[in-house]
Amino acid sequence: MKTALPGPVYATVSGFCLFAISICLARFAYGPLVPSLIDMHWVTKAEAGYLGAFNGLGYIVGCVAALWLPRVTGIRLLMRTSLLLAVIGLGMCFWNFGFAWLAAGRSLAGFAAATLMVHTTALVVRSVSAKAKSMCLGFAVSGGGIAIVIISLVLPFFIVKGPSGGWFVEAAITFLVAAVAWRFVSMAPHEREPSPDSIQPLAPRRRRLVLLITVAYTLMSIAVIPHTLFMADYMDRDLGLSIGDSSSLFSILGAGCAVGAIYIGPLTRLFETRWSLVINYMMGAAAIAMVLLFDSVIIVASSSFLIGVSLFGVVALTSIRTLEIVGLPRHAHFWGFMALGFGAGMAAGSYAMSALLSQGFHYLDLFQIAEVAVICALITLLFTRWRYRDLENLTEKDRSQANHLTV
């Protein structure tokens, strides 16, 4: 028995809520809490980074689960469970029962973020018309950036006496938006997903091209770690801002993310997808360079906006470019593995940078590593642009589908 599709408005609002959880609440909303966690001695600087790594580890496991579990459980049960785990994971962090307890909570949140990220787009797409897909998905994905803005502006009022208030706010908001999206998630397919064995294998050159794009995408995940994980504490300790002000300024990154989710439509109309990707990687390199060259709060805050635009632009355009290369039937399979690479890069990078902090390195050293990573990603992308310039998109139909796909 088929479940009736929800209306486009409810589908879009629900997608907005699900992306708010998967991108912000269960992942990047941790950044504004870092100064308070360190200042109140819940964790050290290195341990704050390790908590980010555990969140990335949960994200990796969630990506694997998103690829394989639907064949056993169906999408509906997996996404329902993920909503509950997001609330539980954030709620656990309300109590300071030690590093292992906090790490477990962050891991659960990361797992939930990954499964929701992988499957939300398809649920929104199947609920709106072809003409409305681009607009509806753009608004839905912007939920991640807008949620970062809201969280960053609200948190300073609740972390005056410590991070518990901040964790409570994040858990409460997650519960509310999960409640809004619960009926939408309950309309997801209950049937187990079929095996993709019937899909013809991808040509070797196209497979190698996807692999190189995945390498660049993984390097980008490393490059954004200092901005998304350590920026608030950097502005607090190295630039002299108060904890409240540094947490509030994290909202600028969220504003950039919201813009990045929306502006890719006009960008790809001006330039083809390949050059649009190059532009976004260059934007990321410029954003990190701003931190390395200047210690002005205004310039550093501007770099946060630019890295937010670049990050969401890269995510969206990488998905679109992958669709152009592999075709619609294979997209979910390859995109799932790309998400896995992105999560692995963030987890490994967070762990490595935290280890460097524990050895006495400074935040600017981490930004230098990030700059090297994004430059390597840009070089990799330019190489693919030169080496595989003869590969055309699979079909015009797949290309038109790409214009409606954002994550």
Domain ranges of the chain: 8-191+202-390+398-402
pLDDT, residue 6, reads 66
pLDDT, residue 399, reads 45
Q: How far apart are CA 295 and CA 235, in angstroms?
A: 9
Angle at 215 between CA 209 and CA 218, to 5 degrees: 140
User: What pTM was computed for the model?
Assistant: 0.79
pLDDT, residue 146, reads 86
pLDDT, residue 190, reads 66
Q: How far apart are CA 27 and CA 289, in angstroms?
A: 25
- The count of C-alpha atoms lying within 13 angstroms of the C-alpha of 224, restricted to the half-sphere facing its C-beta, is 32
Query: How many C-beta atoms surround the C-beta of residue 66 within 10 A?
Result: 24
Q: How far apart are CA 244 and CA 237, in angstroms?
A: 12
Nearest residue to 213 (alpha-carbon basis) of 115, 320, 116: 320
Which residue has 């935290």 as its token pair?
A: 354
Superfamily classification of domain 8-191+202-390+398-402: MFS general substrate transporter like domains (1.20.1250.20)
Q: How far apart are CA 26 and CA 24, in angstroms?
A: 6
Binned average pLDDT, 10 residues per bin, the chain of 407 residues: 66 91 88 86 87 88 86 86 96 93 95 88 74 70 83 84 91 95 84 53 82 94 89 81 73 82 76 86 95 89 91 83 76 78 86 87 92 95 80 52 44
